[in-house]
Structure 1
């Protein structure tokens, strides 16, 4: 009997280990992970990926810093990568375990926030602009004036996504400053203009894919891929690139330093570095990715989509956001807090 019990205990232990070997916890932005990708990954590797959503970089950072989260991988934006690194929340990647690391497109390899891609691999990249229902408003949509000084047609019908860095960067560039500025004169203008404009907004919310498709909202500060998805359901919606300046961003996957399923995490990271799999990510969320050769596997309607292929006249206005200094972040937070009142 003793030997039988021992054998059962060993069997249970090995079964538990096998189950752990087949699990992975991904902490990612909401509505941003392709179910088809996860199914293909499970079919090929036997690993089940559980996705937990968040709606902002700050929310994900706070959750990770609090500890006890149980996540293996997280997907921060470029301007948060160094914050995660400096706080010791992520591990440097063992590139020998990523044989497809070389598939990262050259322009996305030596990025300022992670030279040589030692800590991250690309997920998707895009821009923050303004989606507009052109049946409601037929004027110029390529300006941040749409939410900073809303035209009469859009008063009470515009949403501003509650993503602090994107919104304040748009506002700062509209007022002639640079993102992460510590210039108090510029920041005072930004605060005053935003506070004056807020009563003319309908909401500060996420979930615009559904609301703009259904004509519940007529314009929104939002992301290009999401507005692409809206246009497919509501052809009247167009995406504007603010000529005063707008954020470009890239989200990337990073390995958390307290990850429990490290082997599975590396398997997943290498999987998404393969062009056909990167294309599945893009095909779902409708953003570009940073993997060379993935274009061949992309949906046909993405190749010349105006939300993906930035019009030549507005390309120079796009800029990647830097990581703000503590002082700039303090100013941002003060303005944002006042805006929430």
Structure 2
């Protein structure tokens, strides 16, 4: 059954003040970590430019920072055995699978004094009751980024599927199938084989304008003018809009509804330094550090203390594409996943890619 997620964001609608950088943080590293190494595995372009350097300086440690293009890449690698990562950043969908498969260590909340800074809205969610394995990091939506000069006004998935011009889809099987199921009047989390077949046919029939299936770089295709519209994560498009400082690009949460997601910090089984991982997580939950990350990524912050202290850039905090209105939130849904449904969608996705030539 579809879940409507209504988020209490009144504190997010800040005014007037400038926004913080992580060097303003008063966070103090626990003793005993000097000279150690932390290995972080995260999405690309998903942390502020100074976050890692400031943590290294605060703790006297070295951080080896690797990136991946998609959740699936990270999951495949961890399923083969942890090669030495201490911190990973799974979405709610992939976290569900990792928990079920025993790939994550339990979080030591007692070692994270800044835990209380988190907004309870993002805690104790169905994919991880009690947050035994995950810590909220960033949140956002999957929507449409587009070139306003080429496309004009866009407000729906129907606009994207009917567009007579180059389009890119996102390499996010769960999100794209959620949209296809929704467009056919089904639960976006359906695992019914007949409904998934209908969604597969819908994507094949409406994929004639797709020139790329982008691995989390659709915003670059848009920026280079290779496509006019993209299915993308909200923050990636807002980063392009900020860099451009123009009105050429826009992001919309489609009228039909879309996927609301929560990415999380987690410690994989076999982590060489879980204690330092807990210190890093505590550091990220500092209000100044958390605000600095969200101000850079242009994604929603789950850090209530940062929002209440008005550390989020007002232009971001007041943008309904990042912090949606209560009315819009009613049309958002969390994606749900299990191993059986994952296999169904991957098989269907392969069929879609073959038929649309991607």
Given the alignment, which residue of 274, 284, 292 partners 1:262?
274
Larger Cα Rg: Structure 1 or Structure 2?
A: 1
| Match status 1:81 vs 2:90 | no
Partner of 2:323, secondary structure, is coil
Q: Which residue number in structure 2 is paired with residue 94 of structure 1?
A: 108
Given the alignment, which residue of 235, 258, 270 partners 2:247?
235
Query: Any conservation in 2 of the 1:160–1:203 contact (CA below 8 Å)?
Result: yes
Q: Which residue number in structure 1 is paired with residue 226 of structure 2?
A: 216
Runs of 4+ in 1 over 3 A off after TM superposition: 18-21
Given the alignment, which residue of 52, 67, 73 partners 1:59?
73
Q: Which residue number in structure 2 is paired with residue 144 of structure 1?
A: 157
| Match status 1:280 vs 2:289 | no
Which whole-Å CA distance do the structure 2 matches of 1:86 and 1:21 have between them? 34
CA deviation map 1:241-275 (0-9, x unaligned) = 12222000000011112010122111101111111
Tell me how far 1:20 sits from its aligned partner. 8.5
Q: Unaligned 5+ residue runs, structure 2?
A: 1-31
Matches within 5 A, 1:294-305: 294-295=306-307, 296-305=310-319
Between the two proteins, the alignment pairs up a number of residues equal to 318
Partner of 2:83, secondary structure, is coil
Query: Any conservation in 2 of the 1:212–1:219 contact (CA below 8 Å)?
Result: yes
Structure 2 length-normalised TM: 0.83
Query: Any conservation in 2 of the 1:130–1:219 contact (CA below 8 Å)?
Result: yes
Residues 19, 279 of structure 1: alpha-carbon distance in 2 compared, 3 angstrom cutoff: closer
Q: Which residue number in structure 1 is paired with residue 117 of structure 2?
A: 103
Structure 1 length-normalised TM: 0.87
Which whole-Å CA distance do the structure 2 matches of 1:229 and 1:158 have between them? 19
Tell me how far 1:19 sits from its aligned partner. 9.3
Q: Unaligned 5+ residue runs, structure 1?
A: 1-17
Given the alignment, which residue of 187, 204, 218 partners 1:178?
187
Q: Which residue number in structure 1 is paired with residue 26 of structure 2?
A: none
Q: Which residue number in structure 2 is paired with residue 253 of structure 1?
A: 265
Question: Which structure has the highest helix share of the two?
Answer: 1
Which whole-Å CA distance do the structure 2 matches of 1:178 and 1:225 have between them? 26
Query: Any conservation in 2 of the 1:47–1:264 contact (CA below 8 Å)?
Result: no
Which whole-Å CA distance do the structure 2 matches of 1:186 and 1:180 have between them? 10
Matches within 5 A, 1:197-212: 197-205=206-214, 206-212=216-222
Which whole-Å CA distance do the structure 1 matches of 2:316 and 2:344 have between them? 38
Which whole-Å CA distance do the structure 2 matches of 1:250 and 1:68 have between them? 23
Query: Any conservation in 2 of the 1:180–1:325 contact (CA below 8 Å)?
Result: no
